[in-house]
Amino acid sequence: MNEESIKAILNRVQQGEESVENAFQKFRNFPFEALEDAIIDHHRPLRQGFPEVIFGENKTVEQIDQIIRAILKKDDPVLATRISKEKAEILCKTFPQAVWHKEARCITIEQQPVEIKGKGTILVISAGTSDIPIASEAIVTAKIMGNRVEQLFDVGVAGIHRLLAKQELIQSANVIIVVAGMEGALPSVVGGLVSRPVIAVPTSVGYGASFGGVAALLGMLNSCASGVTVVNIDNGFGAGYAASLMNRDK
């Protein structure tokens, strides 16, 4: 239930096409509606500008199925992250309109074409091939939230010329997401090149003293470049979401 649908109801009330009682019933449980396991927050599109996202990692196919149905009823777009291949296959059979983003491990359902609301481009940069799944999650998120998205992959700091050769692309972005594991140095270099917000995403890529992404996380938090903010390890969705907010006028 988004701004448009609320106003539509109000318009129908105004026009006498819908009774006050009827409208009230529709508003009644409007801020949240109990499902069996999870309360879906339909109020969120109003408050936060985007529908609830399904974090699929600890949920069964049945739970995800149920939440998707509830969201579809409200005419909202669906974004489900951390969906394994097995779950995706079942869900795509049930919901033929669903799109399975293999690398990003996401499912999306656009009930109507996504309208571009972002002012500029969001650029997603990743350091190594192993960072691509997280980078892709950020891309899928940013796209379904109505942004133009560009990508620049495999430009780690140990071959700095590969990054520098893409100056034009980098300078043209309005918000930049930088995804990196290992030492997590890439956001510092990118942050030093631009005057736009940089969202750093540490990944759990690495071994030994990378401690599952902690080395990259600490590197990013201690970035010597100003304008860099950080999200949780492997949180591509969070970066895509935050970038969307930054790329949108109030």
Identify whether the C-beta of residue 187 lies closer than 8 Å to the C-beta of residue 231.
Answer: no
Listed ranges 69-77, 88-96, 110-118, 211-219: which one lies at the site for its own copies (CB under 8 A)? 211-219
Q: Does 3 sit near its own copies (CB under 8 A)?
A: yes
- DSSP letter at 149? E
Candidate list 11, 84, 97, 111; residue touching its own copies; CB under 8 A: 11
H-state helical runs in 30-119:
44-48, 61-73, 85-94
Cα 109 to Cα 97: distance, rounded to the nearest angstrom: 6
Only one of the segments 68-76, 90-98, 109-117, 198-206 lies at the binding site for its own copies (rule: CB under 8 A); that segment is 198-206
Q: Which is nearer to its own copies, 49 or 72 (CB)?
A: 49
User: Residue 27 or residue 75: which is nearer to its own copies going by CB?
Assistant: 27
Separation between Cα atoms, residue 216 and residue 210, nearest integer Å: 7
Closest approach, Cβ 110 to its own copies, in A, equals 19
Listed residue (247, 230, 248, 240) closest to 137, CA to CA:
240
Tell the smallest beta-carbon distance from residue 96 to its own copies (Å). Answer: 26
Of 132, 139, 144, 149, the one binding its own copies (CB under 8 A) is: 132
Smaller CB separation from its own copies, 93 or 195: 195
With H, G, I as helix, E, B as strand and everything else as coil, classify residue 208. helix
Where does this chain touch its own copies (CB under 8 A) — which range of 68-76, 91-99, 110-118, 157-165?
A: 157-165
Contact with its own copies (CB under 8 A) among 89, 94, 102, 164: 164
Q: CB 200 → its own copies: shortest distance, Å?
A: 8
Which one of 83-91, 92-100, 108-116, 123-131 is the stretch in contact with its own copies (CB under 8 A)?
123-131
Pairing of strands 106-109, 228-230: unpaired
Buried (b) or exposed (e) across 96-107, using 16+ Cβ within 10 A?
eebebbeebbbb
Which contacts qualify for 31-34: CB closer than 8 Å, 24 or more apart? 33/70
Report the SS3 class of residue 54.
strand
Site residues for its own copies, 15-74, by CB under 8 A, read 16, 20-21, 23-24, 27-33, 35-50, 53, 57-59, 63
Q: Taking CB under 8 A as the rule, does residue 214 contact its own copies?
A: yes
